[in-house]
Amino acid sequence: MVEKATTIQEFVEAPPRVSEWRRFGRVFFQRKLVVFGLVVLSILIISAIFAPWLAPYDPYRGDLSDSLVQPSGKYLLGTDIQGRDTLSRLIYGSRTALLVGFVTTITATILGIVLGLVAGYFGGITNMVIMRAMDALMGFPMLLLALLIAAVLGSGIQNVIIALSVATLPGYARVMHGLTLSVRENDYVLAERAMGSSNMRTMVGHILPNTLPPMIVLVTLQLGSIILAEAGLSFLGIGIRPPGAAWGSMVNDGYRFLVTNPVLSFAPGLAIMLVVFAFNMVGDGLRDALDPRLRGIL
Amino acid sequence: MTTYIIRRLILGIFILIIVTLIVFFAMRLLPGDPLVIFMGQQASSGSMSAEQMESLRHEYGLDKPVMMQYFNWLGGLLRGNLGTSIYYHEDVGKLLANRFPITLHLGVLAFIIANVLGILLGLLAGIRRGTWIDTVSTTLANIGITIPVFWLGILMIYTLGLKLRWIIPFLGYTSPFDDFGMNTKQIIMPVICLAITGLAFTARQMRSAMLEVIRQDYIRTAWSKGLKERVIIIRHALKNSLIPVITLMGIGLGMVFGGAVLVETVFAIPGIGRLLVTSIFAQDYVVIQSGTLVIAFIIILSNLLVDISYGWLDPRIRYG
């Protein structure tokens, strides 16, 4: 009788099964700033997709008789020297920021993962060549390297993407290299090798999946700094050709009219800051939810 | 320790060689005639005759094989000959020497401020977790990481310069040896802009390193021995929590040079960053090549120093 009660007791005390997704969601949505970041990013994505419907005016061709108008009911954020509506250009600028941010991230991440994985897995001379080349690339400040490449390739959005991809690539490769080195030492990798798996199968099937959570976090955290670097390049006038709208070049264009129309450079700068902040917050949230051990490392 | 330093030095030299290869071949990988690229519009507009082109080609050594060109260029670099600027018609070495001290002046000040304040803020935030100082420090770090430095510069010019008229003049650069007061006024805002990113990263890193360290057993032992908090933090916790921060210093130096390009543009400061931007628009590849190379050299050398001090601070790395 007593024995039976004990078994029931044990059964009741067993921890309830919590779905991984629910646990992820609970940690992720816990912090208000993460939610704020998500809201900002949603607005950004919506405005990028629906720009033609959201923008009240043509972002590329302005009404010259409405040049440098102060913010008013007609133009919520005023107009620039060519009479173009600042708000409309801001909305179209979100396309540039997102396009450069995402395409650069995807390119650099894939290349970085491949290089880091191969270097870490094979070791030896392969490792030496790849990682020292990455060290050499890291010897340049990110913005300067991007500047050098953009100078060589000329302006244009695809060249900005190439430049920023090369400039951010070593960071991903280095983190991936470190992760591969540590995952490679696990017993299940040894077991896989003992069963005669090919190198490719071991790398892609067993090492790669276990490095993904920290890589996802790094990618999100890096997105902000890529957008910041793109803004820097276009502020310097390298990057998106006129009349294309990029927030960085809008800040620079507005700088000349700082005394009379400060909103021209204040508004796009604030947009850059909000978006970078949002990406960082979402990255922090992902890090805490996916792998709390990473706190402070990434 | 000596073998560790020697190993690091050899590695450093190896990386420097790769850097020269990258910079050199970045210019050569381009499709088209390097002379046309070198000479920019002059050559492409057809204002030069074929003989002129040929003699220039010979003068720049572009008629030789690529590897020969590379070694000639490298040889010139080692002898301190960085070439002649196409746009400024000046020796690039001299050009860099004129502008470098300006960037260095701003950069070193910013670097010191970023690290001292960053370490202090991060330390206080770490040991006083959850208090107002933690909130202030974390908020400041978040702003510093996200704000575009060029925009911060413009905001400061607008508020401090144009509206409040506290700091006037705010553009340009005067040598501190000519007019110290003027110089101080001119560099306040650029230095803040250059320092903010590094400060934010350092503070954040320091805070999390501190949180990590003060949980360790040896800190608990120090507490139970009855040591004062000041002694525990300064003598026991600080050294270990500084290790990740020192790694960040190498990156921080890169950020200062990267930021200099933007900040010098905003504040019209004739430093090396401004020179590079001007050269890019003037298509002066000689200056771009040498300028980026010099900056990369400095960063790699300082990373070497970081690595060595790292091995000194943490013996596990030396033998690992």
Would you say B272 and B103 are in contact if contact means Cβ atoms under 8 Å apart?
yes
Chain B: residue nearest A258 by CA? B158
> CA dihedral defined by B41, B44, B46, B47, rounded to 10 degrees?
20
Of all residues in chain A, what percent carry a pLDDT higher than 90? 23
Chain A: residue nearest B261 by CA? A144
B14-43: per-residue pLDDT in tens? Answer: 888 888 888 888 776 655 555 665 565 555
Would you say A151 and A140 are in contact if contact means Cβ atoms under 8 Å apart?
no
Per-residue DSSP letter, A82: T
pLDDT of residue B42: 58
Nearest to A143 among B147, B258, B285 (CB): B258
Q: Which residues of chain A lie closer than 8 angstroms to B147, CB-CB?
A: 273
A31-52+82-290: CATH topology is MetI-like fold (1.10.3720)
Pick the closest to residue B315 from B234, B251, B239 (CA basis): B239
Task: Check pLDDT > 80 for residue A290.
Answer: no
Determine whether the interchain pair A144/B155 forms a contact, defined as Cβ–Cβ distance below 8 Å: no
Q: How many CB atoms lie within 10 A of CB B89?
A: 7
Mean pLDDT of the A117-141 span: 87
Which secondary-structure segment (H or E) carries A250? helix A247-255
Any idea which of A145-154, A288-297, B302-311 has the lowest mean pLDDT? A288-297
Nearest to A272 among B148, B257, B265 (CB): B148
Q: Which residues of chain A lie closer than 8 angstroms to B145, CB-CB?
A: 224, 276, 280
Per-residue DSSP letter, B233: I
Would you say A96 and A247 are in contact if contact means Cβ atoms under 8 Å apart?
yes
Would you say B100 and B250 are in contact if contact means Cβ atoms under 8 Å apart?
no
Q: Residue A20 is encoded by which pair of tokens?
A: 């991984």
Determine whether the interchain pair A265/B142 forms a contact, defined as Cβ–Cβ distance below 8 Å: no
Determine whether the interchain pair B147/A273 forms a contact, defined as Cβ–Cβ distance below 8 Å: yes
Q: What are the extents of the domains in chain A? A: 31-52+82-290
CA distance A14 to A35: 33
A192-217 exposure pattern, b = at least 16 Cβ within 10 A, e = fewer: beeeeeeeeebbeebbbebbebbbbb
Q: Residue B56 is encoded by which pair of tokens?
A: 């220039």
Determine whether the interchain pair B296/A143 forms a contact, defined as Cβ–Cβ distance below 8 Å: no
Pick the closest to residue A296 from B239, B241, B307 (CA basis): B241
* ipTM of model: 0.83
Nearest to A258 among B157, B265, B292 (CB): B157
CA distance A84 to A89: 8
Determine whether the interchain pair A235/B254 forms a contact, defined as Cβ–Cβ distance below 8 Å: no
Would you say B91 and B84 are in contact if contact means Cβ atoms under 8 Å apart?
yes
Determine whether the interchain pair A147/B142 forms a contact, defined as Cβ–Cβ distance below 8 Å: no
Pick the closest to residue A173 from A208, A130, A213 (CA basis): A130
Q: At A197, which amino acid appears?
A: S
CA distance B97 to B102: 10
HSE (CB half, 13 Å, CA atoms) of A132? 19
pLDDT of residue B290: 84
Q: Which residues of chain A lie closer than 8 angstroms to B162, CB-CB?
A: 258-259
Pick the closest to residue A117 from A126, A106, A125, A107 (CA basis): A126
Nearest to A141 among B15, B16, B299 (CB): B299
Higher pLDDT, A35 or A60: A35
- The Cα of B300 is separated from the nearest Cα of chain A by a number of Å equal to 5
Across the A:B interface, residue pairs with CB atoms under 8 Å apart total: 126
CA distance A228 to B148: 6
- The Cα of B50 is separated from the nearest Cα of chain A by a number of Å equal to 25
In sequence order, what are the residues at sequence separation of 6 or more whose Cβ sits closer than 8 angstroms to the Cβ of residue A66?
Answer: A75, A79, A83
Mapped onto helix, strand or coil, the DSSP state of residue B70 is: helix
pLDDT of residue A165: 92
B67-104: per-residue pLDDT in tens? Answer: 888 888 888 888 878 777 777 778 888 888 889 899 99
pLDDT of residue A1: 44
Q: Which residues of chain A lie closer than 8 angstroms to B22, CB-CB?
A: 136-137
User: At B55, is the pLDDT very low, low, confident or very high (cuts 50, 70, 90)?
Assistant: confident
Pick the closest to residue B250 from A232, A139, A222, A147 (CA basis): A139
HSE (CB half, 13 Å, CA atoms) of A85? 15
pLDDT of residue B58: 76
Give phi and psi for B265, each to the nearest 5: -70, -45
B99-126: per-residue pLDDT in tens? Answer: 989 999 999 999 999 999 999 999 999 8
Q: At A281, which amino acid appears?
A: M
Would you say B115 and B202 are in contact if contact means Cβ atoms under 8 Å apart?
yes
Mean pLDDT of the A112-126 span: 91
B232-262: per-residue pLDDT in tens? Answer: 888 888 888 887 788 778 778 878 888 899 9
Q: Is the dihedral of CA A2, A3, A7, A8 positive or negative?
A: negative
CA distance A113 to A119: 10
In sequence order, what are the residues at sequence separation of 6 or more whose Cβ sits closer than 8 angstroms to the Cβ of residue B100?
Answer: B271, B272, B294
CA distance A246 to B13: 40
Higher pLDDT, A2 or B215: B215
Q: Residue A91 is encoded by which pair of tokens?
A: 């909305």
Higher pLDDT, A244 or A123: A123
Determine whether the interchain pair A251/B27 forms a contact, defined as Cβ–Cβ distance below 8 Å: no
Would you say A85 and A56 are in contact if contact means Cβ atoms under 8 Å apart?
yes
Q: Residue A27 is encoded by which pair of tokens?
A: 């940690």
- The Cα of A131 is separated from the nearest Cα of chain B by a number of Å equal to 10
Q: How many residues does chain A have?
A: 298
Looking at every residue in chain B, the average pLDDT score rounds to 83
Determine whether the interchain pair A136/B22 forms a contact, defined as Cβ–Cβ distance below 8 Å: yes
User: At B4, is the pLDDT very low, low, confident or very high (cuts 50, 70, 90)?
Assistant: confident
A39-95: per-residue pLDDT in tens? Answer: 999 999 999 999 888 888 788 777 777 777 788 777 778 888 787 888 999 999 999
Planar angle of CA B221, B226, B231, nearest 5 degrees: 85
Beta bridge partners of A85: A79
Mean pLDDT of the B275-303 span: 83
- The Cα of B257 is separated from the nearest Cα of chain A by a number of Å equal to 7
Pick the closest to residue B106 from B181, B176, B17, B4 (CA basis): B176
pTM: 0.85
Determine whether the interchain pair B276/A147 forms a contact, defined as Cβ–Cβ distance below 8 Å: yes
Which secondary-structure segment (H or E) carries A189? helix A187-194
- The Cα of B208 is separated from the nearest Cα of chain A by a number of Å equal to 5
Interface test with A, best of B10, B150, B189, B287 (most A CBs within 10 A): B150
Would you say A250 and A263 are in contact if contact means Cβ atoms under 8 Å apart?
no
Nearest to B257 among A141, A276, A277 (CB): A141
CA distance B67 to B20: 12
| Whole-angstrom Cα Rg for chain A | 24
Chain A: residue nearest B20 by CA? A136
Q: Which residues of chain A lie closer than 8 angstroms to B31, CB-CB?
A: none
Pick the closest to residue A172 from A118, A116, A220 (CA basis): A116
Determine whether the interchain pair B148/A136 forms a contact, defined as Cβ–Cβ distance below 8 Å: no
Q: How many residues does chain B have?
A: 320
CA distance B154 to B262: 11
- State the burial class of residue A248 (Cβ atoms within 10 Å of its Cβ: 0-12, 13-18, 19+): buried
Mapped onto helix, strand or coil, the DSSP state of residue A84 is: coil
User: At B213, is the pLDDT very low, low, confident or very high (cuts 50, 70, 90)?
Assistant: confident
Give phi and psi for B27, each to the nearest 5: -75, -30
A233-278: per-residue pLDDT in tens? Answer: 999 888 777 777 889 989 998 888 888 888 888 999 999 999 999 9
Which secondary-structure segment (H or E) carries A193? helix A187-194
List alpha helices for A50-156, DSSP H. Answer: 51-54, 86-122, 124-138, 142-153
